[in-house]
């Protein structure tokens, strides 16, 4: 049975356990290897579950992952692809 721990990036429990067995025993390394917490939710729905799995397998969940905000703030109009010169 396929158990998803990160729905945004389709990371399964098996993939997470395999990565831990390969030596990714801290939350940041595990994130970089598997890709969990890099989807739309940015870890809001999967970080706790992944940290619990890591802790249960003698890893160090630490204090969480490093948040990386956008380098330059983006307006909603720009994200929506709206022409800044047009009137709505």
What is the CATH classification number for the domain harbouring 30? Answer: 1.10.10
E strand or H helix at 5: strand 4-6
Number of domains forming the structure of the chain? 1
Asked if residue 49 belongs to a domain, the reply is yes
Asked if residue 72 belongs to a domain, the reply is no
What tokens does 81 get? 């692809």
Q: Give the mean model confidence (pLDDT) for residues 10-38.
A: 93
Asked if residue 34 belongs to a domain, the reply is yes
C-alpha to C-alpha distances, 42 to 46, 68, 71, 86, nearest whole angstrom: 9, 10, 16, 32
pLDDT of 67 over the 90 cut: no
Asked if residue 88 belongs to a domain, the reply is no
Asked if residue 71 belongs to a domain, the reply is no
Q: Give the mean model confidence (pLDDT) for residues 15-35.
A: 93
The domain in which residue 40 lies consists of: 4-66
pTM of full prediction above 0.75 = no
């Amino acid at each position: 049975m396929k158990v998803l721990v990160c729905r945004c990036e389709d990371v399964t429990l098996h993939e997470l356990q395999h990565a831990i067995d390969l030596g990714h025993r801290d939350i940041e390394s595990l994130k970089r290897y598997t890709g969990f917490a890099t989807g739309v939710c940015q870890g809001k729905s999967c970080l706790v579950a992944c940290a619990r799995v890591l802790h249960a397998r003698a890893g160090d969940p630490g204090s969480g992952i490093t948040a990386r905000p956008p380098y330059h703030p983006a307006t909603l109009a720009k994200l929506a692809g709206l022409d800044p010169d047009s009137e709505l």
